[in-house]
Amino acid sequence: MSLGISNFFDDPKSSMEQVVNSVQAMGPIGLVYFGFVYTIAEILALPAIPLTASAGYLFGVVQGTAIVLLSASIAAACSFLIGRTFLRSYVEKVLENYPEFKRIDKVIGQEGFKLMLLLRLSPIFPFALSNYFYGVTSVKFWPYFWGTFFGFFPGTIAYVYTGQLGAKLSLGDISHEPWYIYAGGLLIFTMFLKFIADTATGVIRKMEESNDSNDE
């Protein structure tokens, strides 16, 4: 089945809806197809949140989280390596408009895994685009990869669970508890994620300030 890469740029929303419909019709192999499309979408720096939620709708929380984490991690690794090699000059020019990234680069070489984990938990930078940016920083590959993997985990579960909850509600498959119990659980988890994100952002700011004071 054709992926239709050009259509992703013309109409990403419709293209992703077509992916979901295709996966539903493909049976078990649909999981592999979904993972492939998700990886390509992330490498192209397209908004993948709709696909992340769709993973819960299509595969449930466990399988959905696993395929999204695997696909996003592969895409992050590919984008990082592309940014570090083939597109390095271009990415460095783009980063001239992101002074915040230059500040982080001063710290990221020393606090590779820790800072990457915090950056992935924090909403400071968009996930897909920043993968290329990190390629031109001083962070090494493996601290980058594992910081990305574990930092991406909590948010992935939340979006995937949202998709599964949507599937249950649309199909009327809330057999054990009322719908508001599931919705309440999602709200609590979302608040917890916001707390983690705010905490991570605060720690990053303190690390930047500490590094700036050491440079003076």
**Spatial separation of the C-alpha atoms in residues 104 and 111, rounded to whole Å:** 10
What is the reported pTM?
0.81
**Spatial separation of the C-alpha atoms in residues 38 and 51, rounded to whole Å:** 7
Residue 98: strand, helix, or coil: coil
pLDDT at 112: 81
**Spatial separation of the C-alpha atoms in residues 185 and 163, rounded to whole Å:** 14
pLDDT at 173: 56
pLDDT at 158: 87
Domain ranges (residues) in the chain: 5-210
- Cα dihedral 137, 107, 145, 155 in deg (nearest 10): -120
Neighbours of 13 (CB within 10 A): 10
Continuous segment of H or E residues that includes residue 208: helix 179-215
DSSP annotation of 122 reads: S
Residuewise pLDDT in 10s, the chain (216 residues): 445 444 555 555 566 677 777 888 888 899 999 999 999 989 988 878 888 988 988 898 999 999 999 999 999 999 999 999 999 999 989 888 877 777 777 777 777 888 888 888 887 777 888 899 999 988 899 999 999 999 999 889 988 988 887 776 665 555 555 666 666 766 777 787 787 878 877 877 777 676 666 555
